[in-house]
Structure 1
Amino acid sequence: MKFEKELLKNKNLVIVLTSQLLFQLALWIGLIGNLHFLQKNVESHLLQSIFLVSGSVFSVLIAPYAGRLIDGVAKKNILLTVGILRMISVGFMFIALATDSVWWMLAYSIGVSCSASFFEPALQAIIVEITEEKDLIIANSLNLNIVTLSRIFGATIGGLLLTVISLSSLYAISFGAFLFVFLITFSLDMKDDGFIRKIKKKVEFREVFLVISERFDIKMILFLSIIPTIFIAGFNLFIVEISSIQNNSSIKGILYAVEGISLILSSTFISKRVKNINRIYCLLVSSFLIVVVLFLLSFSNILLLPILAFGLFGFAYGIFNPISNTFSQETIPNEFHGRFFAFKSMIDRTLIQISMVSIGFLLDLIRFNKVVITLGFLAFILVLIFTIIYINKELSSKRREETSTNSTR
C-alpha cells in the first residue's frame, strides 16, 4: 500500500485515474440506458445488436486519425476536445428520448465510441509522461483495476437507477460525470506541446509500423494479446452457456464477481513483484494460463470448474494487461505512443467484434464444449510458437555475448 499512497501524491495521475473512473462508470451506465431504449423501440434482436456494435465500427475507422492527432498536438487539448464531444453525444441521446428515434441513439453511440478512440490511447501516452519509470507498472495496474471496478459496478448502478429514475435522468447523470471530467482536465499540469510542434514535420500513422517491425518483442505482445481479447469477446456468451449447462442462473453473478476480484488482486500483486521478473516470460505464462482456462471450461457441467476457470482468467489477465502496457510504454519511443496505442486499440476492437460474431456462430454450429476446446488448441499453438522463438532468440543472444567475451580476452 505504501507504493500506491506515494503514487497517488502525483496530482496529474490522480486526475487521469479519476477521469478514467468517471468515464467508464458513465459509459456503462449509458450502455444500460441504450439497452433499455433499444428494447423499447426495436423488436429485432439482430437490429439491436447492429445498433450496439455500430459505434465500435466507427471507432475502429477513426483510430488511425486519432493516433496521429494524439502524437501531433498537446494531449491535454485532446482530452478537452474529447470531453466536449462526449457532452454533445449525450445531447443526441436527449433528442433520441424526446423523439423515440434510434438514429439519434446511434449518433450518441458513435460519438461516445469515437471519443473512446481518442481517450484510451491518449491516456496510455499521458500515463508514461506523468509517472516515473519505477512506478509505471503500478500506475497501469491501478488503471486496469479502475476499468474492472467500473465494469462491475457501472452496469449494476445503471440497472438499479433505472428502477427509481427515468431514462432522461440516467443520461443526465452521465452528462454530469462527463462535465466533471472535462472540468478537472483543466487542472492537468503537463509540459506537452505535441510531438509535431517539436520536430516541425507531418506525423504519419504508418510510421508506427516501422517501429513495430523492428521489435520482435512488441510483435509478440500484439500476437499474444489475441488470446485474452478473444476470451473477453466471448465472455458474456460463455457465461450464458455455462448457466444454461448447469441450469443455474445465479452462477452468472458469481462468475462476474470471481473474475473481477481475481483480476484486481493479481494486478495489485504483480505491480509489486514484477521488478525482478522477466516480463516476456510473465506474458507467456499468463497466456498459457488462459489456454488452461479454455480447456477447463470444457468441463463446465462440474459446478466448481467454471468458477475456477474464471478466477484463473482474472488472475492471468491481471498479470498480462499491466505488464504488456508497461513494456510497450517503455519500449516504444514516446513520440509514437499515441499511434501505437491507437493501432492496438483498433486491433482489439476489430478482433472483439469479429470474435463475438464468430463465437456466436460456432456455439450454434458445434456447441460450447467444442468451441472452447478449439479455441484452447489454437491459443496453445500460438503460445508454443512464440515461446520456442523467444527461447531460441535468448539462447542465440547468449551465445553471441559469450563469443564476444571470449574474443576480447
Structure 2
Amino acid sequence: MWKNKNIMLIFIGEFIAGIGLWLGIIGNLEFMQKHIPSDFVKSLILFSGLLAGVIVSPIAGKWIDTYNKKHILLYAGIGRVGSVLFMLFALKYESIFLMICFMISIQMAAAFYFPTLQAIIPLAVTDEKQLMTVNGMHMNISALSRIAGTAFGGALLMITSLQTLYIGAMIAYILLFSLTFFIDIKEERRETKHNTKEKERFTDIFPIIRELPIVYVAVVLTIVPQLFIGGFNLMVINISELQHDPSIKGWLYTIEGIGFLFGAFFIKYAAHEKTYIKWMYALTCFIASAQLSLHFAHITWVSLASFGLFGISVGCFFPMIATIFQTNVPKRYHGRFFSFKNMFDRVTFQIVLLASGFLLDTIGLENMVVLFGSLSLLLMMYTMFRKKEELKSEGA
C-alpha cells in the first residue's frame, strides 16, 4: 500500500486539504460568534451551503460515472480555491451575504470532490482486501488533519487575524490542486458517446440499493452519527457556555479526533465481512449512548468521555461503511451512488443542523441529546426488524 503512488497522493492531499478545511471552519465559527447571536440563524447560514451541495449532487453523480474522474477532481479544486476569495471579501466588508456565497461555492465544489474521491479509491487499490485498511488510513489522515487544523487554527486566532486563517486555507487548496495532477488512475469505464451519456440516469442507483440489503441497512444507519455530527459545532459552543470555559472547545475536538484515530486503526483488525452487520449495530448503540450521556454535558469529564466514545465509534463505523459500499455496489454505479450518499448525508445534516439550532434555542442541550439518542435507538431497531430476514439470506 505504501508503495502505491496514487494512494500516497490521496493521503497527502487529504491531510493538506483537511487542514485547509478546518482552518476555514474555525474561521467560520469565530466570524459567526462575532456577528450572529442566534444559534438558529447560524444553522440557517450553514444550511445555505449544504443545500447548494444537495442540488448539484445528481449532476455530479452522472458526471463522475461519465467523465474522467481526475479532471473532475481538478475542476473541484479550482472551485475550492476560488471560493475562499468570497470569505476574504466577507471579512473586509463584514458581510454575512458574502459569507453565504463562500458557503455555497465551497459546498458545491465538495459535492463533486468527495464522491469522486470515494469512486477513485477502489480503482487505486491493487488488492481489494486492502480496501478496509486504505479506508481506515484515509479516515485516520482526515482525523489527523482535523486535529492539526483545529490546533493550528486556534493558535493562529490567538496571534493573528481571521484573514490569515483563510489565506492558509487557500494555500492548502492550491497544494491539493497541484498534487491532483500527479494522480494516475486507469478507469475501467468512461463513456464518450453522447447517446450513451443520455442513458446514464441518477435514479438508476435506487433499485441497486433496494436489491442489496446490507447497503440499505448501512445507508439508514449512517443517519445515527449524522444526528451527532449535524449539531457538532453548535453543541461544542453550547458545552463551552454551559461550563463557562472557552478552552473546552479545543479539548472536545481533540478528544473526538484522537478517538477517531484509534477507532479507524482498531476496526481493520477486528472486523471482517461476515461480521459487518453485528459491528454496525454495536457501533450504532455506542453512538446513541454517547448522545444520551451528553445530558450531563455540564460535567467536564462526562462531555469529554462522550466525545471520546463518539470518536472511537465513528472511527470504526465510517471505514467499515465505506468498504461495504465500495465492495457491494457495482463500480459502474460508484459515481452516482457516492453522489447519492453525499446528497443523503447533506440532507440529513441540514435537517439535524436546523433542528439542533431550533432545539438548542428552545429546549436546551440536555433535552436535545436525549431526543436524538432515543431516535438513534429507534432507527437501529427499525433496520433490525425490517431487513432481518434478507440479511440472514445474504449470510451477513
* TM-score, length of structure 2 as denominator length: 0.88
Q: How many residues end up aligned between the 2 structures? A: 391
The answer as to whether partners of 1:73 and 1:194 remain within 8 angstroms in 2 is: no
- Comparing 166-175 with 306-315, greater Cα deviation is found at 166-175
Report the AA paired with residue 8 of structure 1. W
- Pick closer, same or farther for the CA change 1:101–1:120 going to 2, 3 Å: same
Paired with 2:239 and 2:81, the residues of 1 have a C-alpha distance of 39
What is the 5 A alignment of 1:147-296? 147-192=142-187, 195-197=190-192, 200-202=196-198, 203-246=200-243, 249-275=246-272, 278-296=275-293
Match of 1:321 in 2: 318
Equivalence for 2:332: 335
The alpha-carbon distance between structure 1 residues 263 and 109, as it changes in their structure 2 partners (threshold 3 A), is same
Classify the secondary structure of the residue corresponding to 2:363.
Answer: helix
Query: Unaligned stretches of 5+ in structure 2?
Result: none
Measured in 1, the distance between the counterparts of 2:227 and 2:22 equals 21
Deviation of 1:62 (Å)? 0.9
1:197 partner SS: coil
Check the 8 A contact 1:286/1:320 in 2, yes or no.
yes
Rg larger in 1 or in 2?
Answer: 1
Per-residue CA deviation, residues 22-67 of structure 1 (Å, 9 max, x unaligned), is 2221122123334455566x45646555444322221111111111
1:392 Cα shift? Answer: 3.3
Distance (Å, rounded) in 2 between the aligned partners of 1:11 and 1:273: 27
Which 10-residue stretch deviates more, 248-257 or 306-315? Answer: 248-257
Counterpart of 2:260, as a letter, is: L
* 1:122 aligned partner: 116
Conservation of the 8 A alpha-carbon contact between 1:74 and 1:194: no
Instruction: Render the CA deviation track for 1:350-384: whole Å, top value 9, x for unaligned.
Output: 21121122123233433433322222222212212
User: Compared with structure 1, are the counterparts of its residues 386 and 52 closer, same or farther at alpha carbon in structure 2 (3 Å cutoff)?
Assistant: closer
Give the partner amino acid of 1:59. Answer: G
Greater Cα offset, 141-150 or 42-51: 42-51
Q: Normalising by structure 1, report the TM-score.
A: 0.86
- Could you list the structure 1 runs, at least 4 aligned residues long, displaced by more than 6 angstroms after superposition: none
Q: Give distance in 1, aligned partners of 2:92 and 2:235.
A: 36
Q: Which has the higher contact order (CA 8 A, sep 6+)?
A: 2
Report the Cα offset of residue 76 of structure 1: 0.4
Does 87-96 or 219-228 show the bigger shift? 87-96
Superposed, 1:7-406 pairs within 5 Å as 7-37=1-31, 42=35, 45=38, 49-97=43-91, 101-131=95-125, 132-192=127-187, 195-197=190-192, 200-202=196-198, 203-246=200-243, 249-275=246-272, 278-300=275-297, 303-395=300-392
| CA 300–273 in structure 1, closer or farther in 2 if over 3 Å, else same | same
Q: What's the CA shift for 1:251?
A: 4.1
Provide structure 1 residue ranges, at least 5 long, that are not aligned to the other structure.
1-6, 399-409
- The offset of 1:211, in angstroms, is 1.2
RMSD: 2.7
